């Protein structure tokens, strides 16, 4: 199994290390040719507008949109979730729009408001989560399953083979969410 990690900006290195610890071939995705042969793709946290601009410059927008529409499994964390979302409440643009959720960018405040917490995840128990200027999921579509909540609000969702988290699992030692995503990729 070969998993790509968008590496134009953000926490790509951390995701690659998590996948490597699980014995999976992890490849940075920097240009369209890097999408070939992938079983899944992680869209890391970082800054969504910067990532979008860099994806555009790299010629990745069209090929990535096509791959996602064709069913390439994807895991978006923080900014990656924003890129996958159907709608962003406080931003005029829509990005890939393949995950039927409505998100609000930077809903938890500024960088100094970042925090760590335990999130109860269905089937996994308590999972450590790092929230950094995290988006909030304000609405979910009928085909979206809420897998994890924090303070009653959805923070981890799944729609078919697309997984989205408002937090950064790659900044913890816990690999269970990456394993969960790999299982989605295997079921493709």
Q: Which residues are catalytic?
A: 78, 168, 170
Helix/strand/coil (H, E, C) string of 6-18? ECCCCCHHHHHHH
What is the DSSP track for the chain?
-EEEEE-SSSSHHHHHHHHHHTT-EEEEE-SGGGGTT-SEEEE-SS-HHHHHHHHHHTT-HHHHHHHHHTT--EEEETHHHHHHEEEETT-S------EEEEEETTTT-SGGG-EEEEEEETTTEEEEEEESS--EEEEE-TTPEEEEEETTEEEEEEETTEEEESS-GGGSS--HHHHHHHHHHHH-
């Amino acid at each position: 199994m070969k998993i790509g990690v968008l590496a134009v900006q953000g926490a790509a290195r951390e995701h690659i290390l998590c996948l490597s610890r699980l014995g999976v071939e992890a490849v940075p995705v920097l240009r369209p040719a890097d999408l070939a042969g992938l079983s899944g793709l992680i869209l890391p946290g970082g800054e969504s507008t910067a990532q979008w601009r860099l994806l555009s410059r790299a010629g990745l927008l069209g090929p990535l949109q096509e791959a996602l529409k064709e069913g390439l499994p994807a895991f978006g964390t923080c900014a990656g979730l924003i890129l996958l979302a159907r709608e962003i409440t406080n931003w005029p643009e829509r990005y890939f729009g393949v995950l039927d959720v409505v998100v609000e960018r930077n809903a938890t405040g500024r960088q100094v408001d970042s925090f760590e917490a335990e999130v109860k995840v269905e089937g996994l128990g308590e999972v450590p989560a790092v929230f950094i200027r995290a988006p909030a999921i304000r609405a979910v579509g009928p085909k979206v399953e809420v897998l994890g909540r924090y303070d009653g609000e959805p923070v981890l969702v799944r729609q078919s083979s697309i997984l989205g988290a408002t937090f950064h699992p790659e900044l913890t030692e816990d690999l269970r969410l990456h394993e969960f995503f790999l299982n989605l990729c295997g079921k493709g």
